[in-house]
Chains A and B, each alone.
Chain A
Amino acid sequence: MNSPANDVLQKYRWRFSGMVAWVIQRVTGLLLLFYLFLHVHTISKLAEGPQAFNEAMATFHSPFFKLLEIGLLGTVILHAMNGIRITLIDLGVGVERQRHLFWFVTVGVGILIFLAGAIPMFLFAVLKV
Chain B
Amino acid sequence: MNIRVRIARGPAQGRKVFSDFQVALEERMTVLDALFRIQREMDSSIGFRCSCRVGMCGTCAVSINRIPRLACSTLVKNLETDTVTVEPLPNLPVIKDLAVSLAPFFEQWKKALPAFRPRDSESQELARIPADSLFAQLTPRKRDCITCGACYSACTITHKSGRYLGPAAINRAFLRLLDPRDSADSERLAILDREFEGVWRCHTQFNCTAACPRGINLTDTIIRIKRALLRHGRVFQA
Q: Which residue on chain A has the smallest CB distance to residue B6?
A: A4
Q: How far is the CA of A95 from the CA of B67 in the complex (A)?
A: 21
- Whether B207 pairs with A19 at a CB distance below 8 angstroms is yes
Number of B residues with CB within 8 Å of any CB on chain A: 24
- Whether B80 pairs with A1 at a CB distance below 8 angstroms is yes
- Whether A22 pairs with B81 at a CB distance below 8 angstroms is no
Q: How far is the CA of A19 from the CA of B156 in the complex (A)?
A: 9
- Which of the residues A2, A4, A12, A18 comes within 8 Å of B206, measured between beta carbons? A18
Interface size class of A (residues with CB under 8 A): 20 to 34
A48 at the interface (CB under 8 A from B): no
- Whether B83 pairs with A98 at a CB distance below 8 angstroms is no
Q: Which residue on chain A has the smallest CB distance to residue B203?
A: A22
Q: How far is the CA of A89 from the CA of B217 in the complex (A)?
A: 13
- Whether A17 pairs with B217 at a CB distance below 8 angstroms is no
- Whether A4 pairs with B85 at a CB distance below 8 angstroms is yes
Shortest C-beta distance, B189 to chain A (Å), equals 18
Q: How far is the CA of A22 from the CA of B65 in the complex (A)?
A: 22
B232 at the interface (CB under 8 A from A): no
* Listed stretches B39-47, B144-152, B223-231; interface member: B223-231
Q: How far is the CA of A91 from the CA of B204 in the complex (A)?
A: 12
Question: What B residues does A98 contact at CB under 8 A?
Answer: 206, 219
- Whether A92 pairs with B227 at a CB distance below 8 angstroms is yes
- Whether B79 pairs with A7 at a CB distance below 8 angstroms is yes
Q: How far is the CA of A86 from the CA of B224 in the complex (A)?
A: 14
By secondary structure, the B interface counts as mixed
B57-83 vs A, Cβ < 8 Å mask (1 yes, 0 no): 000000001110000000000011111
By secondary structure, the A interface counts as helix
- Whether B81 pairs with A18 at a CB distance below 8 angstroms is no
Q: How far is the CA of A46 from the CA of B104 in the complex (A)?
A: 57
- Whether A7 pairs with B204 at a CB distance below 8 angstroms is no
- Whether A16 pairs with B206 at a CB distance below 8 angstroms is yes
Q: How far is the CA of A91 from the CA of B227 in the complex (A)?
A: 8
Q: Which residue on chain B has the smallest CB distance to residue A26?
A: B203
Which of A7, A8, A89, A96 has most chain B Cβ within 10 Å? A7
Q: How far is the CA of A12 from the CA of B209 in the complex (A)?
A: 13
- Whether A7 pairs with B65 at a CB distance below 8 angstroms is yes
A39 at the interface (CB under 8 A from B): no
- Interface residues of B, Cβ cutoff 8 Å to A: 65-67, 79-83, 85, 156, 203-207, 209-210, 217, 219-220, 223-224, 226-227
Extra pairs beyond A8-B66, A12-B66, A98-B219 (10, CB < 8 Å): A1-B81, A1-B82, A2-B81, A3-B81, A4-B81, A7-B81, A11-B67, A18-B206, A92-B223, A96-B220
- Interface residues of A, Cβ cutoff 8 Å to B: 1-4, 7-8, 11-12, 15-19, 21-22, 86, 89-92, 95-96, 98
